[in-house]
């Protein structure tokens, strides 16, 4: 059985307060985007290990045992000890550490795939609980619909926004932005207007009002990322912003986009029609 975990972009991102658990309270809108990985799970007859994991596509850094898909399996295995041995294969197409939530999506889709394939009969609320244990963004991918997110990003309220008539361009320059560093550069504060209010305004107003708090420090340290945003606006984007803590920048276009974009920089560029 195979599924295709998609990525997300952040439509605005405010850091509201630091919590006692060292996380931060945020507000953002998560919007699903059809750039996808592929995840396959089949039963295994290898009695020496619970899970055989392999991957192709973009190289996944770090120890394979730390992969969030494997963590999803072991999280369920604790409560469902009869969960059988499996082979799991992940094909990565979503850039990692890029503000697109690709890893979180893989973990959430792994939970859903295991639930369906092995008839665990987990409700959506229970899947959301497991997903939150994997990571702050994971719960969104259980719902996988445009959502206003608060708390650590796990408190979700579906929001009525549809960008299907637009084209979304994703540009990743291959720069790794350390999320811990990015948070350390910010002073949490309550905004004058919530993202939930701004997002329901005409998209033409977003350029002036819909902000990602991480952009200021990230753009100062990495001017190349700022240049991507400026270039997307110059090419006719009605709105452009960095997703998450970076380094991916997206542009939302009403009309056809002039290609090629960023050819000389050899960036990862994907147009979602």
Which residue in 21, 27, 244, 19 sits closest to 157, CA to CA?
27
Q: What is the C-alpha to C-alpha distance for residues 50 and 118, in angstroms, rounded to an integer?
A: 14
- Asked if 93 contacts 129 with a C-beta cutoff of 8 angstroms, the reply is no
Which residue in 43, 130, 134 sits closest to 83, CA to CA?
43
- The total of other beta-carbon atoms located within 10 Å of residue 262's CB is 18
**DSSP helix/strand/coil, 113:** helix
Is 193 noted as a catalytic residue in this protein?
A: no
* Phi, psi (rounded to 5 degrees) for 46: -85, 110
The secondary element (H helix, E strand) that includes residue 99 is: none
State whether the Cα torsion 196-201-207-208 is positive or negative.
negative
- Selected catalytic residue, list 37, 106, 137, 213: 137
Tell me whether residue 123 is exposed, middle or buried, using C-beta atoms within 10 angstroms of its C-beta: 0 to 12, 13 to 18, 19 or more: exposed
Is 8 noted as a catalytic residue in this protein?
A: yes
* Angle, vertex CA 97, rays to CA 92 and CA 102, nearest 5: 45
DSSP states of 172-192 as a string?
Answer: E-SPPPPHHHHHHT------S
SS (H, E, C) 207-231: HHHCCECCHHHHHHHCHHHHHHHHH
Q: What is the C-alpha to C-alpha distance for residues 5 and 188, in angstroms, rounded to an integer?
A: 31
Which residue in 126, 123, 130, 124 sits closest to 72, CA to CA?
130
Q: Which residues are the active-site residues?
A: 8, 137
């Amino acid at each position: 059985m195979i599924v295709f975990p998609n990525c997300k972009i952040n439509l605005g991102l405010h850091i509201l307060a630091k919590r006692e658990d060292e996380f931060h309270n945020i507000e953002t809108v998560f919007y699903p985007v059809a750039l996808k990985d592929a995840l396959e799970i089949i039963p295994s007859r290898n009695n020496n290990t619970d899970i055989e994991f392999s991957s192709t596509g973009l190289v996944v850094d770090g120890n394979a045992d730390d992969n969030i898909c494997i963590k999803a399996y072991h999280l369920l295995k604790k409560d469902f000890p009869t969960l059988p041995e499996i082979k799991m294969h992940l094909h990565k197409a979503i850039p990692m550490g890029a503000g697109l939530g690709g890893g979180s999506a893989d973990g959430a889709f792994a939970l859903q795939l295991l639930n369906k394939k092995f008839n665990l009969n987990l409700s959506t609320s229970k899947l959301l609980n497991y997903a939150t244990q994997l990571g702050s963004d994971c719960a969104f991918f259980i719902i996988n619909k445009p959502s206003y997110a608060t708390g650590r990003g796990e408190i979700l309220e579906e929001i009525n926004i549809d960008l299907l008539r637009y084209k979304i361009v994703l540009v990743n320059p291959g720069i790794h932005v350390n999320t811990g560093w990015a948070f350390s550069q910010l002073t949490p504060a309550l905004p004058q207007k919530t993202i939930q209010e701004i997002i329901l305004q005409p998209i033409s107003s977003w350029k002036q009002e819909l902000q990602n708090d991480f952009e200021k420090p990230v753009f100062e340290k990495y001017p190349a990322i700022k240049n991507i945003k400026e270039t997307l606006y110059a090419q006719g984007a009605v709105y452009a912003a960095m997703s998450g803590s970076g380094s991916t920048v997206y542009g939302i276009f009403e009309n056809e986009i002039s290609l090629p974009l960023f050819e000389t920089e050899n960036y990862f560029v994907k147009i979602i029609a």
